[in-house]
Amino acid sequence: MRIRWRPEAGRLVTLMAVAFGMTVVITRLYLMASGYPKIGGSVYHIAHALFGGLLLVISCLLLLMSSGRTAMTWASLLSGVGLGLFIDEVGKFITTDNNYFFPLAAPIIYLAFLLTVAVARMSARRRTVHPELALGAITEEVGQFVGSRMNAQRRAELLAELRAIDPDGCGPEHRELVVALNDYLRALPCDTEPELERRLTRIGVSIEKRFLPLPVLRVVLITVLIAHGVWSLLRLVLAGVVIAGWHSHWHEIDRMLDLTQGHGWKSLVALAIAAVAELAVGIGCAVGAAAWLRGDEELGVRLAIWSDVVSLTVVNVLASYFSQFLTVFTAIAEALLLWALVRYRDRRARQLRAEADERPDDAANEPATAAS
């Protein structure tokens, strides 16, 4: 069975993932700040998981009953919010006493969020190979713009995708559809101004080039990597102190160091695994920063990215069992660091390609200059 991939699948699932993560964080912070209020009185308890299920149903109805980019965007946002409200109460679903604060709930929520992000990245990178599926995806996207104006840049991209379709892989009727779509797109009136998303992207790129040129960004990232290594070392020392069972003379310090919260050897095993992963992250950040400072930029960036990924996917999953709110803010900071590293790598690659394109012209001009 061949599945037709939606053209904007990456953008839609990314919106869902962002709405999912923000909903969980905002919900937990709000409940903690408001003293965990209840809706329903002495007999009933209207859990917010029910509101999450309602939003999921509404998003499904939007997908089944409506078409167009607006409906898809709202469906992705509502599904993310609904999933966040639903899974926030997973602790009640996996315990016999309906324990909302069960420590295992936070790792389950975090893993679900990571899985959603992974699906978003996979769908953003997926490309339709079969000509019929590619033609179906283009036809669907063109249909979404019926009754609304398309952007000129997107029309050029769709025309390029139509030219890339192999005519030998399609039937005669499909080749006629390619010609019809090509004629329709060329005759379609379009907006010359870019979409709001593209305009915001251009503004962000211009601000980035002005206030964060590559040399400045390089210094910032190396400094953050060193700080990340120190932070990992501190967390490693804390985990070692807890595993060793060290106790102080002050009750408050002992209470702060009681990360396992009396959950026995299972929590100690999880803490030990997190400590090993934390050691790998600390070493990776330190070696990456050192290699970057010595001039091996490619190795430094690669080690930094992989160390950050290990911290996001392994360390934080286990750490969320012991401290969910600290892990949330740590994960946000590490996600921003990962984005900055990938952004630096892409900008640096484009700069190197631009420099390589300029070198042949310089080499060709040298003999003419010498002759003159």
How many angstroms separate the first and last alpha carbons of the chain? 68
**Which of 95, 88, 96 is CA-nearest to residue 112?**
88
- Is it the case that residue 359 has pLDDT exceeding 50? yes
Predicted pLDDT of residue 253:
47
Mean pLDDT computed over every residue of the chain:
82
Q: Are 27 and 85 in contact (CB under 8 A)?
A: yes
Distance from the Cα of residue 103 to its chain's centroid: 25
- Is it the case that residue 279 has pLDDT exceeding 80? yes
Least confident residue range of 36-45, 197-206, 298-307: 197-206
DSSP-derived secondary structure letter, 67: -
Q: What is the widest separation between alpha-carbon atoms in the chain?
A: 96
pLDDT of 221-262, one tens digit each? 999 999 999 988 888 887 777 766 555 554 554 454 455 455
Q: pLDDT higher for 84 or 235?
A: 84
Predicted pLDDT of residue 82:
96
Average pLDDT over residues 69-79: 89
Q: Could you identify the residue written with the tokens 């953008």?
A: 11
pLDDT of 28-59, one tens digit each? 889 988 988 888 777 888 899 999 999 999 99
- Considering the chain, what percentage of its residues have pLDDT values greater than 90? 34
- Is it the case that residue 350 has pLDDT exceeding 90? no
